[in-house]
């Protein structure tokens, strides 16, 4: 049943009350009319063929039918009808439940309602030999072919404490994003472009480069 405003509820109750009293009045009038009809039928004396009245006989009056009172029954019936109408209107109706897709796996349905966690980042296994070639083709332009850095460009990666403390996953994300010269952590004043300026490098390529770097600067948390 839709929610009703206070004004609508008030108008509804007033309408039901008026209908109830009108019904009670009609029942009262009907009872009065029926009572009069019964009195008219049973109150008449039986008709017989006309005869000369006997001189010694006295006219016998027909017994009077006592008048019947209407009583409170019409109003009692109306009150009960009013209560029934209110019960039908305000009784809470059961709301239909949303159907869920049928499944034979109960455990699966339970888990489906729980948001699945974000997939864990899988560390890629790098190939240091391939990484050495990729490093020479991209990273060596700033960090030198021996990874010891070039003046005014890349830093020495063989002794870098930053590289040593980063995990392989963290280092991969760092290389993908790069570090601009405006970054307060940049101590060279030179931009480190994302992926060393080679956007063609894939995550696997970067994992290979990191595997090569780990051959001379292993991870030490």
CB of 211 closer than 8 Å to CB of 127: yes
H helices of 91-202, where?
A: 106-112, 128-134, 140-143, 161-165, 168-177
Mean predicted lDDT score pLDDT of the chain = 75
Mean pLDDT over 54-75 rounds to 54
Shortest CA distance to 76 belongs to which of 25, 26, 24? 24
Same domain for 79 and 157? no
Domain-embedded: residue 122: no
pLDDT digits (tens, 9 = 90+) for 14-59: 777 777 778 777 777 877 777 777 777 766 544 555 555 555 545 4
- The domain tally of the chain equals 2
208 compared with 23, residue with greater pLDDT: 208
Phi and psi at residue 191, to the nearest 5°: -65, 135
- How many angstroms separate the CA atoms of 73 and 34, rounded? 14
pLDDT at residue 192 is higher than 80: yes
Domain-embedded: residue 64: no
Domain-embedded: residue 53: no
109 Cβ partners below 8 Å, 6+ apart? 100, 103
Mean pLDDT over 117-130 rounds to 72
Same domain for 164 and 80? no
Q: Which domain holds residue 81?
A: 1-43+71-90
Domain-embedded: residue 108: no
- How many angstroms separate the CA atoms of 174 and 184, rounded? 15
- pLDDT value at position 109? 47
Domain-embedded: residue 185: yes
Q: How far is CA 129 from the centre of its chain?
A: 55
Same domain for 133 and 184? yes
Same domain for 79 and 142? no
Any idea what the CATH number is for the domain that residue 142 is in?
1.10.760.10
Domain-embedded: residue 56: no
Shortest CA distance to 178 belongs to which of 198, 202, 151? 198
CB of 133 closer than 8 Å to CB of 126: no
- pLDDT value at position 106? 42
Shortest CA distance to 179 belongs to which of 148, 202, 200, 155? 155
91 compared with 163, residue with greater pLDDT: 163
Confidence at 120, pLDDT banded by 50, 70, 90 = very low
- How many angstroms separate the CA atoms of 82 and 21, rounded? 9
- How many angstroms separate the CA atoms of 126 and 63, rounded? 123
Q: Lowest mean pLDDT of 38-42, 133-137, 201-205, 211-215, name the range.
A: 38-42
CA distances to 48, 54, 55, 62 from 51, in Å: 9, 9, 12, 18
Same domain for 135 and 188? yes
Same domain for 152 and 207? yes
Domain-embedded: residue 195: yes
- How many angstroms separate the CA atoms of 180 and 186, rounded? 7
Other C-beta atoms lying within 10 Å of the C-beta of residue 141: 15
Which letter does DSSP use for residue 145 in this model? T
Domain-embedded: residue 59: no
Same domain for 80 and 152? no
- pLDDT value at position 131? 92
CB of 207 closer than 8 Å to CB of 122: no
Residue whose token pair is 């008219």: 40
């Amino acid at each position: 049943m839709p929610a009703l405003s206070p004004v609508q509820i008030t108008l509804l109750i007033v309408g039901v009350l008026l209908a109830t009293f009108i019904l009670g009045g009609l029942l009262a009038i009907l009872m009065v009319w029926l009572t009069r009809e019964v009195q008219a039928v049973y109150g008449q004396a039986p008709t017989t063929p006309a005869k000369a009245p006997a001189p010694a006989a006295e006219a016998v009056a027909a017994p009077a039918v006592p008048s019947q009172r209407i009583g409170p029954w019409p109003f009692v019936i109306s009150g009960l009808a009013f209560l029934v109408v209110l019960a039908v209107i305000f009784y809470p109706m059961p709301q239909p439940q949303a159907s869920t897709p049928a499944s034979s796996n109960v455990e699966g349905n339970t888990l489906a309602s729980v948001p699945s966690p974000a997939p864990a980042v899988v560390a890629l296994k790098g190939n240091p030999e391939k990484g050495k070639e990729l490093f020479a083709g991209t990273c060596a332009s700033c960090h030198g072919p021996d990874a010891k850095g070039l003046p005014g460009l890349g830093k020495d990666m063989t002794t870098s404490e930053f590289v040593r403390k980063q995990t392989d996953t963290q280092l991969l994300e760092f290389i993908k994003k790069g570090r601009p010269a405006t970054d307060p952590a940049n101590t060279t004043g030179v931009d480190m472009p994302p992926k060393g300026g080679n956007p063609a490098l894939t995550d696997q390529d970067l994992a290979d480069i990191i595997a090569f770097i780990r051959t001379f600067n292993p991870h030490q948390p």
